Chain A
């Protein structure tokens, strides 16, 4: 791999060593089928480390992307924004969005922050994150997302948008990009009502 990922991991691991005592109970209290059981470290566009299990409380929209992606990934972001726009604003404020990159090597916090800026998302609710390089495939496996890296550094990938409940269980999934899938929007609205 590369020095970049290693130093990232080392830094995050050091920090989470401190947080670990506080967060320790989280994963074990989760349901067995919670995606948060894959309790990996994430690094956000703000350069902050957090564990996947810290996304508890949701509901949470999750998708995967990479910043240099020319077509599909911007569409994923805009589709999620379109889904949000169909929610009452007070419900929308309680929705969390987690965008996980396929490309942790190039998608540094700075690159992720640029992307967040470009898409004008709410940085309090939207997290663009990378994992350690070795964790990308397990994350994709848990989320049921397929991808492979191409010789030019790009990725082929499937592009589902997932809705997880506050405990990390999948409630709904949409493969539809562009116009939001009404069934999915309804699932998001219902999940937010239940909060």
Chain B
């Protein structure tokens, strides 16, 4: 289990102090075990993927949180991170290695982070990146149901977000209401790394084309998918599978997951 958050510790030590911290936002959400009919089944005939119980950050990791990490971890500062692990746009929106500046508000989700950097952050926090299936499982929820994917409104909302034009400032994390798991912003804010981003074999192997900001999604990939209603979520897998672990983009951040204590893996 995750080493307890300082805030949570304080709250547990003296529950009357709870208002001093936003407990709901700071302790990860407990995600119950279940099964998921994934847009990416493991095999053609697999009915569902089993999901074990785990914990997931309620919000995407913020600039403020990531800054605290690089203060502690000099290897992950902007100029110090090796190009093998983070490309030249790594944290490019920050003023300098240890200053957020005007273009990076503390409570905005951190973006321009590579998979290697995101992974290092989560590991330093006693966690890990969620797997794709874990991410998809939690992202299937709306405010009232843990699997709202059959609702046209769920899909429509995601597609409407995709169609928003870029260039607007990113909202702060947690600005939208939590889903049924108590988790915010699985859709509508940024795209997020998953641990097995390089397991998603939907799109062609087209790493060579263009920058990672350009979504490398081809119709052929989509056509192989059985559930066209899942298009909205498949767009994610297409983006992630087109990336390398060192890539960073202006709309890609992450959140961490944590194993539940006693789970063998």
Which residues of chain A have a CB within 8 Å of any CB of chain B? 1, 32-35, 37-38, 137-138, 140-142, 144-148, 150-152, 156, 158, 175
B244 within 8 Å of A (CB atoms): yes
Contacts of A144 in B (CB 8 A): 207, 244
Q: How far is the CA of A37 from the CA of B264 in the complex (A)?
A: 30
Whether the Cβ atoms of B195 and A146 lie closer than 8 Å is no
B residues whose Cβ falls under 8 Å from a Cβ of A? 42-43, 46, 82-85, 115-116, 119, 195-196, 198-201, 205, 207, 241, 244-245, 264-265
A146-B83 in contact (CB<8A): no
Inter-subunit contact B196/A137 (CB<8 Å): yes
**Nearest-CB residue, chain A, relative to B119:** A138
Chain B interface SS verdict (over half): loop
Interface of A is mostly: loop
Q: Which residue of A lies closest to B84 (CB)?
A: A37
Q: Do the beta carbons of B198 and A32 come within 8 Å of each other?
A: no
> Looking at the complex, which one of B43, B85, B200 makes contact with A146 (CB distance below 8 Å)?
B200
Contact partners of A37 in chain B: CB under 8 A: 82, 84-85
Residues of A within 8 A of B46 (CB): 151
The docked-state distance in angstroms from the alpha carbon of A148 to that of B198 is 8
| A38-B207 Cα distance, complex, nearest whole Å | 20
Across the interface, name the chain B residue whose C-beta is closest to A133.
B265
A138-B245 contact, Cβ under 8 Å, with A32-B82, A34-B84, A37-B84: yes
Contact A137 B200 (CB under 8 A): no
The answer to whether B201 and A156 have CB atoms under 8 Å apart is yes
By a CB distance below 8 angstroms, the chain A residues around B43 are 150-152
Is the beta-carbon distance between B84 and A33 smaller than 8 angstroms?
A: yes
Contact B42 A148 (CB under 8 A): yes
Which of B115, B201, B207, B245 interacts with A148 by CB under 8 Å?
Answer: B201
Asked if residues A38 and B205 are in contact (CB atoms below 8 Å), the reply is: no
CB pair B196–A32 under 8 Å, yes or no, is no
In the complex, besides A146-B199, A146-B241, A156-B199, 8 extra interface pairs with C-beta distance below 8 angstroms are A34-B84, A35-B84, A37-B85, A147-B198, A148-B200, A148-B201, A151-B42, A158-B201
Q: Which residues from A are CB-within-8-Å of B119?
A: 138
- The interface residues of chain B lying within 8 Å CB-to-CB of A145 are 198
How long is the Cα–Cα vector from A108 to B42 in the complex, in angstroms? Answer: 25
Residues of chain B within 8 A of A34, CB atoms compared:
84
**What residues of B have a CB within 8 angstroms of the CB of A33 in the complex?**
82-84
Given contacts A138-B116, A151-B43, contact A146 B82 (CB under 8 A): no
CB distance from A72 to the nearest CB of B (A): 13
CB distance from A190 to the nearest CB of B (A): 21
A152 to B43, CA, bound (A): 10
Name the residue of chain B whose CB is nearest to the CB of A36.
B84
